[in-house]
Structure 1
Amino acid sequence: MLSLGALVFLVGCVIRTRAQYGYISLNARALSDTQVLVSRYDVGTVSLANLDFSYRQDGTTTWTTFRLNPTRRYFPVTELNSSTLYYIRVEGRQMRSYSMVHAYTHIRTPPYSQKAPNNVTAVTLDDDSVKVSWSPQPDGRVLGYLVIYTEVDSKDRSLTEYKVKPVFRDFQTVLRDIKGSSRYKVEVASISLDGEGSSKQSVYVGDEKTPFLRMVIPPRDSKVKDKGILILVCRADGYPKPRVTWRKSGRLFDDRNRRIYEDSSDGVSILRIDPVVSRQDHGTYTCIAGNGFGEIVRARATIKTYKEKAKIPGFPVISQHPVLNFVEEGAEVIMNCTSEGTPDIITRWYKDSFPVYYSKDNRVALGANAQLIIVRVKLSDQGKYECSAQNDLGVVFSYPAHLYVKERILMMTPPSFLRSKLRFKVDYGEEVSLTCDAVGQPVPDVWWEQNGKRLKGRSHNGQNIKVLQDLRQTSNYTCVASNPLDTIRRDYSVRVFEPKLEDTMVAPSFKPASLSVKVKFAGSTSLTCEAEGDPVPRVIWLLRGKILKRKSDNGKNVLRLMRLRGSGNYTCTASNIAGNVSQVYNVTVAAKVERFRVSRPVDLQTAVVLPNEVELKWDPPKNLSGVTGFAVYVVDTVTSDETREELPIVYNHTVTNLQPDRQYSIRVTSLSESLDGKGTPAVLVKTLKLGRDVHLPSREPA
């Protein structure tokens, strides 16, 4: 039988008291022998008017109490005694129901004596979730384990809040709220009646992601009349997600009349002033974004105000305002906004004070006469809409108009499969496509499984096509279709014919190729891998274990690399039924050269043209700084062959060894210490024919 303390711990060390709108829970973690961090979690809607945080030592009746901000989530407690049991509670009153909300927990400060788990591993599954497993230590005091995880950057700094998942009677768990493209630190600690073990084992999973921050949409300068409306929009992007605040003259807004309103959604922050008071609201407004890493970014907008009755020729005027609309889900709605003014007017639409962004599929679009057109209306489209008309003289907003969307009630039906081919026969190494279609209301989610394990891939409108490549053995696959009413399954079989290994079969072998390639910075190159064998081998390219290119043609696969900025080893693998081979191509990218441009020569001319010679002359560059000489480029327009000849600082040159009656393209560039500089425009020169009256000149040796 478990003691009362063990029973309390097994339910999460938390006693929760439900309120009308939600409840809160607590989690306590020991940071050191004398420090504890208590975290608060809200379940449901919790809006507190006050918050009291208290704790007491076991064996005493006196609570130490603090009155804190009702929105506070973390409560650090310091100067505690080591190896001592403490009781912790949080109390608050709901703003709407006036009911009390209580939460309790307890923790014993370290050091703890239970042993940490061994062999902690974390593996990413096909659906981007992470499976964490470990080996237990023989310790009768251990009741369970805590899996603690957080997103971290390349310097092991935490980017998100720590999340804790308790695990009992098992030595593995699956974390499904992890982003597959991010890097996570996962810790596993043993827990007993005393609390969380002080020793943990840590592992990392996922790719490193570098924090960044940038301003995407800065606020615009605006001019507005007194008692009008003004909305400033600011959008910042970053990792972690940035927090945006507004300032005027370096101060936060403190508007007790609720005239100035700030809000944020999906990285967009708005500042709404309604109504505008000219004597107070003119000036400079600053949008500030920060995410805790690196410098913050700012953007400023200047607001100019006019008197309400000021007559300004050309100032925007809205003559037709949007009106109230009631539509059914899936229907179409058009909202009008007609305005006048000079210069030309720019019309923008807002929903609940946030900008309306037009979709690429034209579900939400701007009409020819500035109407807002929404087709296939969704429940999420419901809200308060208004438009603004703006030109260089100022901005004016329309009256607000509500759009109400009525939910369309559909008859729900369980999923069912459409007819399809269930048995396939393919040759060894070939590919096959499995198609699974299901119907139902709502449209079922369709996925594939193999041996009970879900495979990657998503369904679209009840259809999921699974392409299986390089098949090497017979296997069965299961299509699963599910909606809220039912889940159904259908089995598919794929039979692979394995060829008999005959004496005539030959294992793959590579044809000779250069395995070391040098490329200039940001340059391009092609790697050709060609193999022979019987049957014809399949050739693929890989980089660090990831496939770059699968498709090969008759044993040949050409990999095109563009704009290279770093060196790397590229692996080519050739395989057939008789065997497989691999070889590594080393691509070395030269360091980036800081380009120093020098002035180019001017006025390139041909002085003398003969059958096999052309005499050139040109004028010096305007600025000889950095010029060490010149280079003459000659291109045969028939064969496209190019020759290059370097010269000292001279202003004439004779090009020899040319073909008679042939056209050439010639240009001259300046030389610097690092590379060729700018060149003259190319001139086209055609050499003379060899005739009876044409004699090749003889030159005396210098």
Structure 2
Amino acid sequence: MQSPVFSKQPGSIVYPLDAVEKNREVMFSCEAQGKPPTLYRWKLNGTVISVKSGGSHYSLSGGNLRISHLNKDHDAGTYQCLASNSFGTIVSREASLTFAYLENFKTHRRNSVSVREGQGVVLLCGPPPHSGDLMFSWIFNEYPSFVKQDHRRFVSQETGNLYIAKVESSDVGNYTCVVTNTVTKTRVQGPPTPLVLRSDGVMGEYEPKIEVQFPELVHGAKGSTMKLECFALGNPVPSISWRRVDSAPFARKVDTRKVSGVLEIPYFQQEDAATYECVAENSRGLNTVKGKLSFYAPPHLIEKPEDIQKSIDDSLVWECKATGKPKPSYRWMKNGENLESTEERVQVANGALSISRLTLADVGMYQCVAGNKHGEVYSNAELRVIAVAPDFGLNQLRSQTLVKEGGDVLIECKPRMSPWGVISWRKTAEPLRESNR
């Protein structure tokens, strides 16, 4: 006999809608060990899914959930697997289903952009409706002539816009934004934007004007690669440099030789959290922009509850602790539902669950859930509460006790039993009653 324990849990899925398929379908994995055999249910956004056999939109294969004829309006959301047997129910971690797509640009023409030679310019991309990460590039005049990025030209991977710090006569021509969805691998091109030179003279020198800047606060996940963009227009072409405001040196993992318009920090850690400053400078002056990189980490359990067996009327204390930033909060579940007891004997505080005066109704599967805004982690434990008939096996009465006549004697009676029962005494065959003697 075994309570349910997950051996496979679902993972999040990003489905590329541009895939050419007659029957679009996905499958979420779920498998649990248990005796009696485990039964499965699934929830979408907290509501149990109705799974019917044969040709249904939802179907089960073991514990796995297959979703056929996908519809992004109805099927996108958060899924959870519930595994049950006679010992109780456990719920899996959350797994999301999202859809990646990239629509076409609207095909209307774009107006030409007219600038003086020596002036800076920004050409807007304006990507079409999409879901999923995008990658941007620009074609100059005709494919396959792409704009090469250097100290004078920059393509933002945040906005898709093309920035030319100082326009030269060789820059005149048509510019076309190319957008690639990194999930669906599809690519679309925008309408060309003509860049022309004005005939009323050349732009004089001017100090840097930072057009690409990172937010004042950027949240970085533990272990991720952080990229901060910074680029300025100016004449002469500004140089871009970076520094930490706390004057600490950059970690070795930051390749300062590559740093120009993008500061890249791989494998982001707590010590990389700081305020960073981008400095754009030329002979006419300098300009700066600052932003803070903050560190976050999803919860990680460091102390988990263990399966336990208790007697009726005993007390239970389960500890649950997790690391994470921000500091995780805790909730407890019983048999797949949030534990919201109105009884004083059931208390949850700082992750610990305590239950006093246990009853058979407390039996079941419990889960501690530690979460912050970056995720949740689950830990399972089974509580068994047993009733025990009176048993003197561990504390038998002594067969003979020697006492002094007129003295006092204490004969202990300590049977093992659950719940605690009524104890009575007999002398030979006669019941004993309390007296004042």
Higher relative contact order (CA 8 A, sep 6+): 2
How would you bin the TM-score normalised by the shorter chain? 0.3 to 0.5
Is the radius of gyration larger for structure 1 or structure 2? 1
TM (norm. structure 2) is 0.33
* TM-score normalised by structure 1 residue count: 0.23
